[in-house]
Amino acid sequence: MPGQRSAPPRLDAIVCDIDGCLSPELPRPAATHLLARVSDHNRRARETGGVPPLTLCTGRPLPFAEAMARAVGAFALPIVCEGGVWVLTMDPYRWEMDPRITPEHLGLVREIEAWAAAQFDGAFLEAGKAAAVTIFHAQGPDYLRRVVLPAVQTRIDDAGWPVRAGMTWTCINIELDYISKASGIDRVLAATGLAPDRLAGIGDTMGDLAIRERVAWFACPANAHDELKAHADYVSPHEEAQGVLDILARLSHREGR
């Protein structure tokens, strides 16, 4: 049974996924009153140092991550965006694409976008992605899983493209095979000197194993994928942002805090 291991006595940061954790997985209004409480946590971290700051690690495009960073006051540490393509810092305000991404591979991403848009009637691509392709479909996730994903995988295999394709709750992500949340977190660790044994993490889908593998203590909200919950030190009984607040409370009320 996952779920009841205590966090290390000293933590320097909390690395948190966005969709399914801070914001709803499906398009619904964000629980802004709960995000305000996450922002209060980050203000406490900034002003007193008494709690570890929460930072973000998301597959979403950089502008979405920046908006969420402003909402939850995640200004203390770099933010992983677009599944590792970008590392964004809010203060000072700057962002860097993974320097290993070549112009040729950026061209390949544009080629895959054009192919996907032409190939799948009813498909639409997530706006704002710089070096990845995310496919939604008018007929929904089940159609994507049954029809589109196998065709995408066949095309990748036939073309020998250096990318991987995977299904989330709602869409298909096609990403360069050397870019991931893991590579993004590694860039953050290198830039900040943060050490995995002093980090906590929060996630809800199997892509967040990259967070799990780089933190000492990992938690999930109640809505997380069961397969990921098996890797968690704590599973909150609450969903999404309420779950994140419950996890923050556990990390903030420990001995010595």
Site residues, Mg ion (CB under 5 A): 17, 19-20, 204-205
Which token pair is 147? 């029809």
User: Please, which residue, 18 or 112, has the CB nearer to Mg ion?
Assistant: 18
d(CA 6, CA 197): 13
Least separation in angstroms between CB 59 and Mg ion: 7
Under 8 Å between Cβ of 134 and 108:
no
Residue with the shortest CB distance to Mg ion? 20
d(CA 52, CA 33): 21
d(CA 252, CA 214): 21
Under 8 Å between Cβ of 182 and 212:
no
Beta strands in 122-162 (DSSP E): 123-125, 132-137
Least separation in angstroms between CB 17 and Mg ion: 4
53 sits in the region (left: phi over 0; alpha: psi -120 to 50; else beta) called: beta
User: Please, which residue, 85 or 108, has the CB nearer to Mg ion?
Assistant: 85
Which element (helix H / strand E) includes 218? strand 217-220
Under 8 Å between Cβ of 113 and 153:
no
Least separation in angstroms between CB 205 and Mg ion: 5
Q: Which amino acid is at 123?
A: A
d(CA 87, CA 82): 9
**Alpha-carbon radius of gyration of the chain:** 18
Least separation in angstroms between CB 110 and Mg ion: 26
Least separation in angstroms between CB 208 and Mg ion: 6
User: Please, which residue, 66 or 204, has the CB nearer to Mg ion?
Assistant: 204
Which token pair is 117? 């848009």
User: Please, which residue, 137 or 181, has the CB nearer to Mg ion?
Assistant: 181
Least separation in angstroms between CB 142 and Mg ion: 19
Least separation in angstroms between CB 19 and Mg ion: 4
